[in-house]
Structure 1
C-alpha cells in the first residue's frame, strides 16, 4: 500500500502482505482510522476526507444496519457492496473484513476492510455455478492434477466413495479407492490429459467404502482443465451412479438371451442344459436342475404331496470346475428331505430365497443331502429355489447358488430367476410332451416291424432302422420278412410319406394288409395290385368318418415286394414306386436289377410289372427304403462302396447291415428315416428235396405212398409215416379226380416237412365238414387235422396244394 497513512492513534497502515495495490482501510468502532493510497485511487477520497468519519455516514448502503455493524467489527462474511466515489460515481466492490490484533496478539486492533473490485456479472455467475456444483450437485465431481492425484472432490462424491475430501486430497485413486480398478481409471485420465479430448460415459464398476458389500456401476465423463494461458492444469471427472439402471438393463438382456437360447430343441435334457448355461455365470455361480423322476421319461407329472420327493438330476454347471464334483451327477436319483425348502417349493409351487444359508439348519444337516453340505463348506452361502411349473403342473426344481465372493441373492434376483425359469418350464414341458409322443410313436412303429427274424431257412437276414432327425422323429420307413409255403420267403421294404403318428399309422395299415395277403401266396405283382386297390377304398371310408388325415399318407406310399425260392434260387420282385435293391454276388460284384418302378400306391396303376431273376448261390440282397445311390454317385462308385462292405464274409451280417446303413444315411435329409434289410441267400440242400411225377391213375396213389415212406426212412422221419401217408393219399387223389395233368409230388425237408402236390388246373379246393351220410368230402379236413398248416398257391398255369408238419412229434398227440 503506497504512502502509508498515520492513524490518529499512531498505528501505521501498510496493507496486507505489503501489497500496495490493495484498496483497504481500517475501522475503529465503525470510524475510519486508516486509508490506503489504493483506496484513494479506487474511490477518489484523500485520507483527510475520510479519516475520523464513520463509515456508515460515508457509505450507508454498505455499513448501515446490523449487517453493516457486523462488517465494521470484522465478523460478517464477504459481501458485495456499492461504494460512493468522491466524484459521485459508484464503485461495485466485494468487501472482505478481518480483525486486526494488538502487538500482544489480543483482539482490539480494529477491523481491516479490503475492497476488491467485483467481478463482472458473467464471471460471478460462473463462480456461483461452480460453487453450486461442488456443494449442491447430486453427481460426483473429482478434480485431478497432472500427477493424477485428487485436488478437490465434492460432497456427492464423498457420499459415493465413503471417503472424506480432506483425506483424499493429494492421494492417488488406488490409495483412496482400493476396491476399484485404479489402473483402468488412471489410464482413462492420462488419455484425456495427453489428447485433450473428453471421454463421455466411460463405465467403471467396483466396491467402495460407502457400500462395501455391493458392487456398483458408474458412468464417468472426463474433461481436461485448461488455464487462460492454455496451460493444462488437470482433469475433471463427472461421476453418476447407474447401478440400478445397469442391473435392470442386464436383467432385460438376460431375459432376451434366455428367450433366444432356451428351447432350441425338443429334447428335455438339452433344454435343461441350455437353461443352466444361461443362468451361470450371469445370475448364479452354480445352477442345477432336478426333474421329477417320471417327467424325465415324458410321463405326466403327478400332483405334489408333502413328504419325500424323488427327483432326477438333469443338468448342472458351475463357474468353478472344482465344485462340479460336489454337485449331483446328471441322471442321479435324489430324495429331498421331507422338511427341506426343496419339498416346500415343490409342494406349494412358490419360489424360495435364502440370502444366507445356515449351515446348522436341520434340512441342511440331513444325511440325504451330503452334497449340499459339501457345497456350503466349499463357500456356497446363498440359495434360490424356483419350481419348474407349466400348465399348472410342477415338473421339477431349479437351484441357484452364489458363493461368498459375490453379494447374496436379493429379491430382484428372485424375480429375474422366476421370469427365466417360467419361460424354460414351458419349453421343458413341450419337450416332455414331445418325448411322450415320440416314445409312443416309436413304440407304435416298432410294433409294426418284425422284432426278430422269423423262423426260415431261405435267407440269412439282418435289419436296421434309423429314425429321422426332425421333431417327430419317427418316419414311415419299414421292412418285413414273411415266411411262405414251400420254404420260400417274402422280403418287403417300403416308405410312407411324412413322420410321426400319421406315418406310423399308415405304415401299420400297409404292413397288416401285406402280411395278410402274403399268406394267400399271391405273386408280388398281384399282391401290390390288391394293396393299390385297397388305398382309395380305405381313404373313402376314412373320409366318411372324419379321420382321413390319419391315412392320407397311404396315397403315395412306396413298396417293394420280393419272393425268394431257395429250391430254384429264383427271386421274383415287383415295385410300387420304390427303388430296386442291390444284388451283391459272393465275389463282390454289384448289380442293380432293372425292376420296373411303376407308380406309388393309390395312384391308380392297374399293372405292377414283376421281374424274375435267378440269384447266384450266396448272393446278398440289399433292400433300402431310400435309394442306395447318392445324387453324385455313378454305378461304379455305388458298386465300389457296397462291394467293399458286403464282400467281407468274415464280418457278421448285422455289422455289415449297420455299415451299409451309415453309407446310405450320409445323403439323407433330416426328414428322412431309413429302413434297411439285408438278405444273404441260402440254397436248399438237394438231399432235402424229393420230387416225383404222378401218373393220373388211381393206382398211382399206392405207389406214391411207398416212395414217400422210403424217403422218410432215409431222412429218419419214420414217426411221420402215418400222417404223411394220409396227406399224400388225399392230395394226390384230389389232383387225379379234380385236377389236370401233369401231376407232381414234392417233399421238402426244411424246418418242417413240406408235402406239395401240383397240377395244371386252376380250380380251388375248399375244406368242409362232411355230413355223416356223405361218401366223400373229408379229404382236406383230414389233411388239416394231420398238418400244422396247409394252403393253396397259384402259378401262371395251375396250382399247388401244400401241407406242413412239424418234425418233432406232438407230445399231446
Structure 2
C-alpha cells in the first residue's frame, strides 16, 4: 500500500493475493508487490507460509480464522516487512466447478491499521462527547455533521443537517462566524480560540461567549471538502476573568495616590463603562478634613458626593453633601429599576438596575459606591455584588489611609510652617517679601530657613540659613537653629558674637548625637546674620560660610557686600568677622541660599553675578517686592529643584532727622532736670504732649540710675517711628535687674515703674557699654 494514505484498507491500496486452499499464490495486486518487494512472477507459485518470518507458525495463523471472513495478525520475514494485519475471504465458484477452493488474502502494516483505528475512535468519541460543540461544514458552510452539544440554547433545532448558522443565530452573529469560516476555507489557516458572542433568534438575551476554533478538511489530491469547527462556551470563564481584570484595575488606580477625591474619581472611571453605565462614589465628609468618621453603627452619617462617571450632565452634583439615616445597619444590596429608596426621581441611578456597597474601615463608615445599568444591559448578579463589595473594601482602606495621611500631613505641615515667618513682613523701617521653595514638596519645609526679627530702637535683623541635608532631620535642625537665633537676637548681640554662640550650639548638637551614629556633617549649616539701624542707615553683617547679601541701590545698581565669611556652623575654632556698610533709603537687600545661585553655575561668583543681573531690571520703581521675588527665582531656577531655594528681599528706609534727637550729658545729678527739659521740648515739638509725663519720668529714672551706678558720659536719645523710643546709654557693662523693693527701702523701684509705664523695655550691650531702651505706643492720630 502507499504509505500515508488516508485508509490503509482502501480497496485501491490493498496488498492482495489470491491463493488456493494449500496456500499456493495464484495471483497478486500491485500493492502486494510493493508491500512484499517482489514482482508478480516471483510471487506466482510460491506459498503464503513462506512469506512468514517463521513458516512453521502457519498452522497458528490459520487457527485465527473463523467465520466467512478470516482476520488476524502475522509477522512477515524481516526482509519483507514487519507485522501485518490480514483479512481472508473465500472466493465463490471454485468448488462447484470441480476446482480447488480459492481465497482472497489482503493485508496492511499493523502500525498503519492501528493509526487508522485510533483516528476512527477519536472522531467517534469526539462526536459523542457533550462538553465541546463540534460541527462539520461543507464548502457552502452547510452543516453536515454535529454532536448534540453544538449550541445548547433555545432556538437551535434538533435536526441540523443541511442548516446554515444564519438559520438559527442572529444575522450579525452568523455573519461574523461565516466570515471566519470562509477565511479558513480559502486560506487553510486554522482559526484558534476566537471569542464571539452569539445570540439565537428565539432567545437573544445577553447571549453567550463562544470560543471558536476551526480547520480546513481536505480529501484525496488535497481537494477541499469542508471545514470543522469547535464551539466552547466560555461565558463564565470570561466573566470571571473580566471581574478579576476589573478588580486588578481598580486596585491599581487605588494604589497610585493618597488623595481621597482623586482615588474616587479614578475608581469611578474604571467602573464605567466596563462594569456599569453609571457609578457614583460618596465619601464621608470627615475624610477631607482628616477627622474621625462616624462609627458605622450610628444612624446618622454625612457624605459628600465625590465622584460620578457616566451620568448625564447636571444629574449628579459633585461636592453635594448628603445626610443619610442608615438605621445603624449597613448591608450591600441590589435593586431593580427605581426600587432604591436612597435615590430620588432626579438621580441618574433612578430607573436602572443598580447595586450599592458600603465603604467601611476600622469600624467607621467611610462612604459608599453605587453603580447602575440601563435596561439594555443584563441586570447585576450575586457575583457582581460580591465583586463590588470587594472593590469597596479595598477602596475603603485606601480612602481611610488618605484620611489618616491628611490628618498627619496637616499636623506636620502646620507645625513645620509655624517654624517659618510670614512670607511678607512690615516694620516701621523695613518691608520684606520672601520666596521659599523646598525640594520636599510633600511637607513644604526642609533645611533652609529665613527670619525677620524686630530689634530694639526700631532696628531689624535679617537672617538666612541653610542646614546640610534634607527631610525631617534637616527640618528639626533648622527649627533648633532658628529658635536659637531668635533667642540670641533678643540679647541684642552683634552678628559676629551671635554666630560664635550659634557655632557652639551646633557643635554640641553634633556631640550629643554621636551615639546615634549621626556625623557632624548632619548638623552642619551656614548662616548669614545682619542688622539694620534706621537711624544711622548702617548695616552690620557676618557670615558663617554663607553667600553674602546683595545690595540694590535706589538707582538700580547692584553689588554684593564684600564679606569675609567665616567657617560653616559646627566646624569651630575659627572666628567670625562683622562688616559694616550703609544702605540708603529705599535700597533693597537680597539674602539667599546657595540653591538659588549655584544651579547651572560651576562658580558661585557666576551665580551671584546672575542674581545681580536678574535683580536690577526686576526692581523697577514702585514695583511690589511680592512680584519681584518669584520672577527672579523663576529666571534663575527654571526647572525642577536640585536644592532648596530661599530668597529674602528687604526694602529699607531710615528714620528722618526730624524724627530723632540725641543729647550727651555729664554724670552729675544736676543734669536730670536738663534731661527732663530736653524731653519735654522735643515731645512738644512732635506734638506728643500726651506722652510727656511718662517719658519725662522714664528718662529721669534711667539717667539717675546711670549717674548712680555707671558714671562717665551719659547719652539720651528719642526716636519717633511707629512708637516712641527712649534710650539712655552709659559706659557700664552691668546688666540692670528689676527687683521688688521692701516697704522700708527708699529706692529700688525705678525699673519696676518703667516696666509698668511703658509697653516694652530692655537693654543691650554695645562696644562702649550698654543702652537701656523703652517703647511707648503713639497716641492715635486726630
Q: TM-score range by the shorter chain?
A: 0.7 to 0.9
1:730 aligns with 2:710: no
Query: Which 10-residue stretch deviates more, 517-526 or 618-627?
Result: 618-627
Secondary structure of the structure 2 residue equivalent to 1:414: helix
1:202 is aligned to: 194
Secondary structure of the structure 1 residue equivalent to 2:431: strand
Task: Write the distance in 1 (CA, Å) between the matches of 2:363 and 2:683.
Answer: 73
1:690 aligns with 2:679: no
CA contact (8 A) 1:458 1:564 kept: no
CA contact (8 A) 1:482 1:489 kept: yes
2:689 is aligned to: 718
Task: Write the distance in 2 (CA, Å) between the matches of 1:542 and 1:120.
Answer: 90
1:705 aligns with 2:676: yes
2:136 is aligned to: 143
Task: Write the distance in 2 (CA, Å) between the matches of 1:703 and 1:755.
Answer: 16
Shift of 1:609: 3.3
Task: Write the distance in 2 (CA, Å) between the matches of 1:134 and 1:245.
Answer: 24
Structure 1 residues 405-434: Cα deviation after superposition (integer angstroms, max 9, x where no partner) = 332222222333333333333332222211
Task: Write the distance in 2 (CA, Å) between the matches of 1:122 and 1:551.
Answer: 82
1:681 is aligned to: 652
* Match 1:629 to one of 588, 597, 604: 597
Secondary structure of the structure 1 residue equivalent to 2:597: coil
Shift of 1:550: 13
1:381 aligns with 2:343: no
Secondary structure of the structure 1 residue equivalent to 2:613: helix
Structure 1 residues 140-193: Cα deviation after superposition (integer angstroms, max 9, x where no partner) = 22334444454544321142584226468453x456422754554344323322
1:235 aligns with 2:223: no
1:591 aligns with 2:559: yes
* Match 1:335 to one of 323, 339, 343: 323
1:185 is aligned to: 177
Shift of 1:716: 0.5
Shift of 1:395: 1.7
Shift of 1:457: 0.8
1:20 is aligned to: none
CA contact (8 A) 2:287 2:399 kept: no
Change (3 A) 1:193 1:292: same
* Match 1:654 to one of 613, 626, 640: 626
TM-score after normalising by structure 1: 0.74
Change (3 A) 1:809 1:61: closer
* Match 1:618 to one of 586, 611, 615: 586
1:353 aligns with 2:333: yes
Secondary structure of the structure 1 residue equivalent to 2:220: coil
Secondary structure of the structure 2 residue equivalent to 1:492: strand
Query: Which 10-residue stretch deviates more, 292-301 or 135-144?
Result: 135-144
**Where do residues 161-310 of structure 1 align in structure 2 (5 Å cutoff)?**
162-164=155-157, 166=159, 169-171=162-164, 173=165, 176-178=168-170, 181-208=173-200, 212-310=204-302
Shift of 1:535: 4.7
1:326 is aligned to: 315
Change (3 A) 1:429 1:466: farther
**Where do residues 67-82 of structure 1 align in structure 2 (5 Å cutoff)?**
none
Change (3 A) 1:145 1:400: same
Secondary structure of the structure 2 residue equivalent to 1:423: helix
* Match 2:722 to one of 743, 748, 751: 751
CA contact (8 A) 2:285 2:303 kept: yes
Secondary structure of the structure 2 residue equivalent to 1:159: coil
Shift of 1:688: 0.4
2:451 is aligned to: 480
Shift of 1:293: 1.1
2:403 is aligned to: 432
Shift of 1:359: 1.8
Shift of 1:809: 8.8
Structure 1 residues 76-114: Cα deviation after superposition (integer angstroms, max 9, x where no partner) = xxxx99898455678999xxxxxxxxxxxxxxxxxxxxx
Shift of 1:469: 4.8
CA contact (8 A) 2:447 2:470 kept: yes
Secondary structure of the structure 2 residue equivalent to 1:376: coil
CA contact (8 A) 2:170 2:198 kept: no
Change (3 A) 1:273 1:558: farther
Shift of 1:746: 1.7
Task: Write the distance in 2 (CA, Å) between the matches of 1:669 and 1:568.
Answer: 39
Change (3 A) 1:210 1:739: farther
- CA RMSD after TM alignment: 4.0
Change (3 A) 1:525 1:411: farther
**Where do residues 96-111 of structure 1 align in structure 2 (5 Å cutoff)?**
none
Task: Write the distance in 2 (CA, Å) between the matches of 1:705 and 1:679.
Answer: 37
**Where do residues 412-451 of structure 1 align in structure 2 (5 Å cutoff)?**
412-450=383-421
Task: Write the distance in 2 (CA, Å) between the matches of 1:244 and 1:312.
Answer: 37
* Matched length: 683
Shift of 1:437: 0.6
Task: Write the distance in 2 (CA, Å) between the matches of 1:518 and 1:577.
Answer: 19
Change (3 A) 1:781 1:611: same
CA contact (8 A) 1:579 1:627 kept: no
Change (3 A) 1:158 1:555: closer
Query: Which 10-residue stretch deviates more, 624-633 or 392-401?
Result: 624-633
1:533 is aligned to: 504
CA contact (8 A) 1:463 1:678 kept: yes
Change (3 A) 1:338 1:413: closer
Structure 1 residues 232-280: Cα deviation after superposition (integer angstroms, max 9, x where no partner) = 2332212222222223333333344344332222222222233333333
CA contact (8 A) 1:308 1:335 kept: yes
Shift of 1:294: 0.9
Task: Write the distance in 1 (CA, Å) between the matches of 2:345 and 2:564.
Answer: 69
1:49 is aligned to: none
Task: Write the distance in 1 (CA, Å) between the matches of 2:695 and 2:269.
Answer: 74
Task: Write the distance in 1 (CA, Å) between the matches of 2:345 and 2:500.
Answer: 68
Task: Write the distance in 2 (CA, Å) between the matches of 1:401 and 1:467.
Answer: 46
Change (3 A) 1:129 1:721: closer
Structure 2: gaps spanning 5 or more residues: 1-65, 69-86, 95-100, 107-111
Change (3 A) 1:653 1:631: closer
* Match 1:566 to one of 534, 545, 548: 534
Shift of 1:652: 3.1
1:155 is aligned to: 148
CA contact (8 A) 2:610 2:636 kept: no
1:640 aligns with 2:613: yes
